Amino acid sequence: MSPIVAIVGRPNVGKSALFNRIARKQISLVYDFPGVTRDRVSHDCVWQGHPFTLVDTGGIGLEDQSGFEEAIQREVDIAMETASDILLVVDGRDGLNPLDAAVASKLRRAQKKRIFLVVNKVDSGKQADAASEFYRLGFSKVFPISAAHGLGMDELMSALAENWTAGEAPPDRSETQFRVAMVGRPNVGKSSLINALLKEDRVIVSPIAGTTRDAVDVEFTHYGQSYCFVDTAGMRKKGRIKDELEQAMTGRTAHTINRSHLCVLVVDALQGVSVQEKKIAGLIQDAAKPCVILVNKWDLVSKEALKQAKATNDQEFRKEYEEAVRRELFFVSYAPVLFISAESGKGLELWLQAMKKIRALKLQALPTGILNRVIQKALSLQNPASNLGKSMKIYYVSPKKEGVEIPTLVAFINDKKLWTPDYQRYLERQVRAEFDLEGCPLQWVVKGKSEAQMSPQS
């Protein structure tokens, strides 16, 4: 995960100029007066092999003529919420300004973030002394630079990059093992599928529903990555199909789903989707888990379908079948639908690939720059209908990286009341059209302006 560097400071100190200097592109406009609209707020950069995202908080939401105080508060909120490193920019020609001190004290609340005091507009050696008065802000080190002329940039960038590799958090142990829950009705072929995948007799397969099994986690490795099927036989513990059905619809399945990183919902191709599958899909949606839908026993269906000559070819029949499954299981519309046969082994490879892909997706944060472009474009094409007499503004969308299990987007907007489920679905479609997130749900956290101000640390 690459670090996010946020540029914060009062208007006109040269934040855009610094943004451009680091991004080495004229993508953020520089004007002589504060409060101008800017069209780029973040950019994915690389410095000496280190990827990072640069965010110009000053480009965010200034256009709504809010006061300086409010604008700066919002910048600080965004930086504290999203960034790992913060560049506090001050104006070396103007000297220390009370607003600088106010911003500095707000930033100090950010724990575990590195804050760099950058004194800009130090265009020549003669002005170097200008930087010293800023020590009064209480930072141990001050970086004098000239964004306009590119002076002092190496020192600043080296200091920034110092911790990026060395300080990286050790890999989360729970991430080394990927837990997969096989869920579905009894007899759909969950155990057979696991068996086929393992190509060994780790799981008992029996045509008699209700064979007693112990609750077990089955582990296997695929291309060096370790996976674990959780609670594979646990659902049969009581040994009777009625019990299992009841359990499947209640706590047991919910528990298994919650323990997992990925849910594989198995459907019997001959039986199709029933109310039980719908309930399970609902549980998967509630738990916001990645999901793959396997239509198993396809070997039987193909023969059947041919016999009855319902479709001209297998391909066409699959398409129809998939549409029907998607209609019924719309809760998990993000899940791929794969056709498989535990008996013949067809489709196993695709299933493995899907699991591998989803696993990689979970760990990957969306690139902030492209993401914001997608969102702004979506917003300009279609603003949510509102009876409140104002239109929604999305200042900035940031992928949340810490403490999340699935791709999560934090949207900073002007008024939470303007955000509707319909509009969220619309935005989600746009995001999914840009990024391939198949198999993964997308989570949204919406922050309204007033809320962000009341609890800047939340």
Q: Is 343 an interacting residue with respect to ligand GDP (CB under 6 A)? A: yes
Structure tokens that stand for 317 in this block: 């029949």
- Among residues 256, 276, 302, 341, which is the contact residue for ligand GDP, using CB under 6 A? 341
Question: Residue 366 has what DSSP assignment?
Answer: P
Rounded distance between C-alpha atoms, residue 293 and residue 337, angstroms: 5
Q: Is 205 an interacting residue with respect to ligand GDP (CB under 6 A)? A: yes
Q: Is 32 an interacting residue with respect to ligand GDP (CB under 6 A)? A: yes
Site for ligand GDP in 346-405 (CB under 6 A): none
Which residue reads 């600080």 in tokens? 76
Largest Cα span, the chain: 90
Kindly give, in sequence order, each residue whose CB lies less than 8 Å from that of residue 335, ignoring residues fewer than 6 positions away: 265, 290, 291, 292, 293, 329, 438, 439
Q: Which stretch binds ligand GDP (CB under 6 A): 76-84, 339-347, 363-371, 447-455?
A: 339-347
Q: Which is nearer to ligand GDP, 129 or 422 (CB)?
A: 129
Q: Which is nearer to ligand GDP, 59 or 290 (CB)?
A: 59
Which residue reads 């199909």 in tokens? 241
- Among residues 127, 206, 376, 424, which is the contact residue for ligand GDP, using CB under 6 A? 206
- Among residues 27, 30, 99, 157, which is the contact residue for ligand GDP, using CB under 6 A? 30
Q: Which is nearer to ligand GDP, 124 or 308 (CB)?
A: 124
Site for ligand GDP in 175-194 (CB under 6 A): 184, 186-192
Q: Which stretch binds ligand GDP (CB under 6 A): 80-88, 97-105, 115-123, 321-329?
A: 115-123
Q: Is 318 an interacting residue with respect to ligand GDP (CB under 6 A)? A: no
Q: Is 17 an interacting residue with respect to ligand GDP (CB under 6 A)? A: yes
Kindly give, in sequence order, each residue whose CB lies less than 8 Å from that of residue 18, ignoring residues fewer than 6 positions away: 7, 87, 89, 118, 120, 145, 147
Q: Which stretch binds ligand GDP (CB under 6 A): 146-154, 277-285, 305-313, 447-455?
A: 146-154
Residue 257 phi/psi, 5° resolution? -60, -45
The alpha carbons of the chain give a radius of gyration, in whole angstroms, of: 27
- Among residues 70, 123, 243, 322, which is the contact residue for ligand GDP, using CB under 6 A? 123
Q: Is 41 an interacting residue with respect to ligand GDP (CB under 6 A)? A: no
| Chain CA centroid to CA 115, Å | 25
Q: Is 16 an interacting residue with respect to ligand GDP (CB under 6 A)? A: yes
As measured in angstroms, the least distance from the Cβ of 201 to ligand GDP is 13
Rounded distance between C-alpha atoms, residue 436 and residue 440, angstroms: 9
Q: Which is nearer to ligand GDP, 265 or 409 (CB)?
A: 265
Rounded distance between C-alpha atoms, residue 398 and residue 78, angstroms: 9
What is the total count of residues that contact ligand GDP (CB under 6 A)?
A: 37
Q: Which is nearer to ligand GDP, 342 or 354 (CB)?
A: 342
Question: Nearest Cα to 190, choosing from 293, 301, 333?
Answer: 293
Residues present in the chain in total: 458
Rounded distance between C-alpha atoms, residue 256 and residue 183, angstroms: 8
As measured in angstroms, the least distance from the Cβ of 407 to ligand GDP is 30
Site for ligand GDP in 155-174 (CB under 6 A): none
Q: Is 297 an interacting residue with respect to ligand GDP (CB under 6 A)? A: yes
Kindly give, in sequence order, each residue whose CB lies less than 8 Å from that of residue 234, ignoring residues fewer than 6 positions away: 213, 215, 216, 252, 256
Rounded distance between C-alpha atoms, residue 298 and residue 55, angstroms: 50
Structure tokens that stand for 446 in this block: 């919406």
**Which residues lie near ligand GDP (CB under 6 A)?**
9, 11-17, 30-32, 34, 58, 120-121, 123, 146-148, 184, 186-192, 205-207, 296-297, 299-300, 341-343
